[in-house]
Amino acid sequence: MFQQMKNIDSAFKYVRSFSIVVVVCCTLISCYAVYKSFSLVSSIQAKIYILANGKALEATAAERKDNIPVEARDHIKTFHQYFFTLDPDDKVIQGNVTKALYLADGSAKKQYDNLRESGYYMNIISANISQTIVVDSISVDVNQSPYYFKCYASEILIRATSTVTRNLVTEGYLRNVSRSDNNPHGFLIERWATLVNKDIKVQNR
């Protein structure tokens, strides 16, 4: 009889241990399933679809801090393209410069005023000069705000008899501002200055 009771007690302990293991395993599986479900929902919510030209394009949402270097370089590049892309047409010049000045503070406006007062834009128009810019590289330090940058580019001036290539190096700082239609990246260029702007090649046409 005592042996039977001992067997029953052992069986009870075994069943209890087995039940505890099953409960723990079920709990772990449930927690993992809930975690994976939330991760899946989050990843799905981070994806959006953009309809362009009748095609659905997938885009992924991300924190702005992950895109700061990319957005900063594009902001700087866009500003320089607007500011230095000129054609012998007053409306084109004014339109491009106006777009550029939305992306920078008074330091850019001061350079524009200096160029205008020196007759630079009038010379572009009277001599039928077209000016374009090719941005070679942009370095941005995103470790400290406002972000210091340096832009290396080449200016190309197409004249009636020659094509002049200039080496252009500028520097400045970027600070965060509100995004808008005129400033989609939400940056403002401050203390913008031209370090180098000299001719490096003249080619006859």
Q: Is residue 54 part of a domain?
A: no
Q: Is residue 17 part of a domain?
A: yes
pLDDT band at 2 (very low <50, low <70, confident <90, very high): very low
For residues 139 and 171, what is the distance between their CA atoms, to the nearest angstrom? 10
Q: Is residue 55 part of a domain?
A: no
**121 near 50, Cβ under 8 Å?**
no
For residues 52 and 49, what is the distance between their CA atoms, to the nearest angstrom? 10
The enclosing H or E element of 169 equals strand 162-176
- The reply to whether 42 and 110 lie within a common domain is no
| Burial class of residue 71 (count of CB atoms within 10 Å of its CB; 0-12, 13-18, 19+) | middle
User: pLDDT tens for residues 183-195?
Assistant: 999 999 999 999 9
What pTM, to 2 d.p., does this model score?
A: 0.70
Q: Is residue 132 part of a domain?
A: yes
Q: Is residue 102 part of a domain?
A: yes
For residues 40 and 33, what is the distance between their CA atoms, to the nearest angstrom? 10
- The reply to whether 73 and 20 lie within a common domain is no
Q: How many domains does the chain have?
A: 2
User: pLDDT tens for residues 102-148?
Assistant: 999 999 999 999 999 999 999 999 999 999 999 999 999 999 889 99
Instruction: Look up the domain containing 72 and give its range.
Output: 63-204
Residue 46 has pLDDT above 90, yes or no: no
Q: Is residue 56 part of a domain?
A: no
Mean pLDDT score of the chain, rounded to an integer?
85
Q: What is the CATH number of the domain that holds 150?
A: 3.10.450.230
pLDDT of residue 108: 96
- The reply to whether 12 and 96 lie within a common domain is no
- The reply to whether 6 and 92 lie within a common domain is no
